[in-house]
Amino acid sequence: MRATQMFVKRLDGGVLLPKVARVHAVGRRPLTPDGLPILDRVHPFESLFIATGHSMLGITLAPASGQAMAGYVLSGTRPELLEPFRLRRFAATR
Ligand SMILES: Cc1cc2nc3c(=O)[nH]c(=O)nc-3n(C[C@H](O)[C@H](O)[C@H](O)COP(=O)(O)OP(=O)(O)OC[C@H]3O[C@@H](n4cnc5c(N)ncnc54)[C@H](O)[C@@H]3O)c2cc1C
């Protein structure tokens, strides 16, 4: 949950989601090893982007993730905001 709270703070600056409530949840969620989503371009493919691993907050975070990724796709420039969510952060563990 701590990783998710950090993610929310980074992604929207705490404006839309100042707090993530502690909840008891059931069902399977797409979790990455560090609990943060993957929002990135898949190298070496110029036109392949990935936005997944939103764990238990994917519906809530969809507008922020979508907006950030749309800006990335349209401009070709990776927003600084997306820096913690690079796919390659898992490369060293493989
Ligand atoms: C019961 C339930 C209730 C929820 N309620 C809420 C809520 O109230 N509010 C909220 O914000 N969020 C909620 N969520 C969470 C939200 O649904 C998810 O965070 C969101 O769907 C994740 O979106 P995503 O695009 O990151 O991943 P997904 O939409 O799950 O997409 C991941 C995709 O990757 C595929 N995949 C997985 N592993 C591999 C692999 N190795 N190779 C290739 N493909 C793979 C999967 O088949 C899937 O199609 C809930 C989830 C559940 C299960």
Q: What are the structure tokens assigned to 4, written together?
A: 């998710």
**Mind listing the pLDDT tens digit for each residue in 24-41?**
667 888 899 999 999 999
pLDDT at 49: 97
Domain boundaries, the chain: 34-94
State the Cα torsion 28-31-36-37 to the nearest 10°: -90
Distance of alpha carbon 30 from alpha carbon 38, whole angstroms: 11
pLDDT at 14: 57
pLDDT at 10: 72
pTM: 0.77
Cis omega (within 30 of 0) on the bond before 84? no
Ligand 1 midpoint to CA 60 (Å): 12
pLDDT band at 56 (very low <50, low <70, confident <90, very high): confident
**Mind listing the pLDDT tens digit for each residue in 58-86?**
999 999 999 999 999 999 999 999 999 99
Task: Looking at the CA of residue 28, tell me the nearest atom of ligand 1.
Answer: 53
Determine whether the shortest distance from the Cβ of 57 to ligand 1 is under 6 A: yes
